[in-house]
Amino acid sequence: MKVAIVDFRISKEEIKSLQDLNIKVLKCPSYEGVYAAISGHPDIQINVLSKSDIMVHPKINDDFMKELSKLGYNIHFSFNDIGFNYPGNIILNALNTEKFFLHNLTYTDKNLLNYIDDKKILNVSQGYTKCSTAIISKDAFLTNDIKIKESLDSLGADVLLLPPGDIELFPLNYGFIGGTCGLIDKNTLAFFGSLDKYVYGDKVKMFLKKHNITPLYLKESGLTDRGSLFIIEGQ
């Protein structure tokens, strides 16, 4: 059973689109310990360590944590609580793949670092690393951050750098491309919104086609940064 972990503010249209794909929706609850724009963002409150392990912050909602446990996941806690503002709120917002771990290591939670010592570790200045980066495949990525692109380039990855802007993240001026989407299988990237309504949508569509990825639009409106779409497998 596939489960989508999403911001609690997800729209009914987006929920239906996921359920029509036989994907269960698990809402990441609001956490008042961070500012409102990102208070329900999964990539702020959790980090998926593996197919059986997830790290959460110590003050995460109990009911949400119980749902993760019911799905068969081992729950691990960050050493620190999430802070209200930057950089305290980025302690779990790392790009964590099978091959490497990329984050601003000055602020990475020390318990999270304990679970990735077997991977290539990359340090960048951008703290909202997962927000800023969308995983297309193990070797292809979208990002809004030049330093992240340069770091991924050093690994031989194919990276499309997108200018900032034209992504909704109320009440801020804009959000990041990584927060708008997530792979639901190896050939399908689901978006909170439509690339047809994104100013750089044609560039993204060409890049996805190059990597045999089909975009799927969960709603027919502009892109919204909802703190990433995490797909996990219930056990």
Note the pTM of the prediction, 2 decimals.
0.96
Q: How far apart are the first and last CA of the chain?
A: 7
Identify the band that residue 118 occupies on the pLDDT scale cut at 50, 70 and 90. Answer: confident
pLDDT of residue 234: 77
What burial letters (b/e) apply to 49-76, b meaning 16+ CB within 10 Å?
Answer: beeeebbbbeebbeebbebbeebebeee
Mean pLDDT of 59-83: 96
Secondary structure class of 209 (helix, strand, coil): helix
pLDDT of residue 72: 94
Q: Can you list the domains of the chain with their CATH numbers?
A: 2-233 (3.75.10.10)
Helical residues (DSSP H) of the chain, grouped into ranges:
12-19, 42-45, 62-70, 110-114, 146-153, 201-210
As given in the structure block, the two tokens for residue 90 are 């980025």
Taking the C-alpha atoms of residue 47 and residue 103, their distance in angstroms, rounded to an integer, is: 12
Mean pLDDT of 104-122: 94
Identify the band that residue 19 occupies on the pLDDT scale cut at 50, 70 and 90. Answer: very high
